[in-house]
Structure 1
Amino acid sequence: MSNETPRAAAPVRVLLADDQPLVRTALRMVMADTDDLDVVGEAGTGDEAIRLTAELAPDVVVMDIRMPGMNGIEATGNITAGSGAAHVLVLTTFDDDEYVYGALRAGAAGFLVKDMALDDILAAVRVVAAGDALIAPSVTRRLIKEFAGRPASSPPQRPLTAITGREREVLVLVGSGLSNAEIAERLFISVATAKTYLTRLLAKLGARDRVQLVIMAYEAGLVSAAR
């Protein structure tokens, strides 16, 4: 039996993109007190966020929306379209429906508002770094309402013929904003099994992350704004 001490996981590399220095400073100071989060850079504009993402290869970019020049939604689209592995977590004062829709459509893995508790923001960074998406129920409702108000020329529905009945049940619950633990409780299955169904759905539907599954669930008519 080896007596070697297991190596600690490398800290999550974080890039802060916000045009307000005080916000960046506050987030950097909070993250400095953690062992698993490391701020590797700061950007004050969308263009700078794109450049620093390419140079520093962060795991997560915490992105504001309203910044000088290129805004955070455009910057998010550029970053997620690249070949790097960076995930974008939008953190903004503005939770307008159009911002939520635009950010998630651009590939953001989560959308938070700045009045959330700092511990919740740090937890969201970890969730996004792990490759999951964080959609608070309130954001999910905003997203669905945004879809409900769009004209019939919205993107076409994705065919769901490849998924099983159980997978369809899971997709409905994902589209309604439930977490893996809540899905497991609702369907009387383990959390591990819920994660397995989620992985299968991502593969079968060609979805990038949980955010896209929410969008697909609505486009397929499995959830509605009334939920």
Structure 2
Amino acid sequence: MKHRVMLVDDQKLIRQGLAKLLSLSAHLDVVEEAADGAEALTWLQSHASRVDIVLLDLRMPKMNGIELLQAMRERNIQVPVLILTTFDDHTMLIEALKAGAKGYLLKDVELETLVSGIERVVAGESMIQPTITTSLLNSLKGLHSEFAAFEKPEELSTKELEILRLMAAGCSNREIAEVLFKSEGTVKNQVSSIMAKLGVRDRTRAVLRAIEIGLIGFNQEL
């Protein structure tokens, strides 16, 4: 079964190019396009069930990507969103993730990585381009903590910390399982345990909180 994709980008040429590229995959089908967040929101309010994922640009007129994410959350539109942009702007990245985006890729990414990212996000995972993740760690220095009011989390085991570092490096559950010689189901359960201990609802926030409370160092090798 094909994953149904909505493209939201103010540049028509970009949308056309993406649609043509994604059509090369046997697993994807672009079913809707929008030129800005306002147009996308209008369509999603009536037709959200018709798409499995939204590929969203950040900088757009009328309503930008972050504003669309916030509006979707306010209206309980639960379609997963993958950010796809030319701007390596980590402040906007953090805001997008906090607003509910499930992943973030730059537009110069290879088609194989983009298709993999779409499939992972549709499957309920997060997707942050590894080359961005390293820079993101440094960009978080000095930012006000979203988790400042949270209680100190339950201590993570050595194995959970190892999995958390692999999550921060952008690894999927399958990739973590291969590295650690575990079953994918076991890794999925351990990821759920990590999120519960950190008091967050998804992998992205687990990594962000771990960075902010020092479980993952800014200078670690990913």
TM-score range, shorter chain: 0.7 to 0.9
Q: Which residue of 2 aligns with 1:30?
A: 21
Q: After TM superposition, give the deviation of residue 32 of structure 1 in Å.
A: 3.0
Tell me the alpha carbon deviations over residues 115-154 of structure 1, each in whole angstroms, 9 at most, x when there is no partner.
1112221221111111111012222223221221325x65
Q: 1:200 to 1:120 in 2, by over 3 A?
A: same
Letter in 2 for 1:219: E
Residues 120, 126 of structure 2: 8 Å contact kept: yes
Task: Map 1:53-132 onto structure 2 (within 5 A).
Answer: 53-57=44-48, 58-132=51-125
Hey, what does 1:166 align to over in structure 2? 159
Percent of aligned positions with the same letter in both sequences? 39
Counterpart residue number, 1:155 = 147
Q: How many residue pairs were aligned?
A: 217
Q: What amino acid sits opposite 2:7 in the alignment?
A: L
1:217 corresponds in structure 2 to 210
Q: Is the 8 A contact 1:184 1:190 kept in 2?
A: yes
Q: What is the distance in 2 between the residues matched to 1:32 and 1:182?
A: 26
> In the alignment, what sits opposite 1:6?
none
* Separation in structure 1 between the aligned mates of residue 171 and residue 137 of structure 2, nearest angstrom: 14
**Partner of 1:148: helix, strand, or coil?**
coil
Superposition TM-score, scaled by structure 2 size: 0.85
1:192 aligns with 2:185: yes
Q: CA deviation at 1:69?
A: 1.8
TM-score, length of structure 1 as denominator length: 0.83
Partner secondary structure for residue 140 of structure 2 = helix
Q: Tell me, what secondary structure is at the counterpart of 2:63?
A: coil
**Larger radius of gyration between Structure 1 and Structure 2:** 1
- The 8 Å contact of residues 147 and 209 in structure 2, kept in 1 or not, is answered as no
Match of residue 37 from structure 2: 46
Change (3 A) 1:35 1:172: closer
Question: What is the CA RMSD across the aligned residues, in angstroms?
Answer: 2.4
The CA deviation string for residues 172-208 of structure 1, in whole angstroms up to 9 with x for no partner, is: 4323444434533554433332222112333444433
Read off the aligned partner of 2:93 and give its amino acid letter: V
User: Is the Cα contact below 8 Å between 1:63 and 1:91 reproduced in 2?
Assistant: yes
Q: Tell me if the contact between 1:76 and 1:108 (Cα under 8 Å) persists in the aligned partners.
A: yes
The letter of the residue matching 2:61 is P
1:10-36 deviation digits (Å, cap 9, x = unpaired): x21211000000111111222334332
The answer to whether the 8 A contact 1:62-1:91 is kept is yes
Change (3 A) 1:23 1:148: same
Q: Is the 8 A contact 2:6 2:55 kept in 1?
A: yes
Give the whole-Å Cα distance in 1 for the aligned partners of 2:72 and 2:63. 12
Residues 118 and 175 of structure 1: CA distance in aligned 2, closer, same or farther (over 3 Å):
closer
Which residue identity does 2:53 align to in structure 1? Answer: V
Q: Is the 8 A contact 2:125 2:172 kept in 1?
A: no
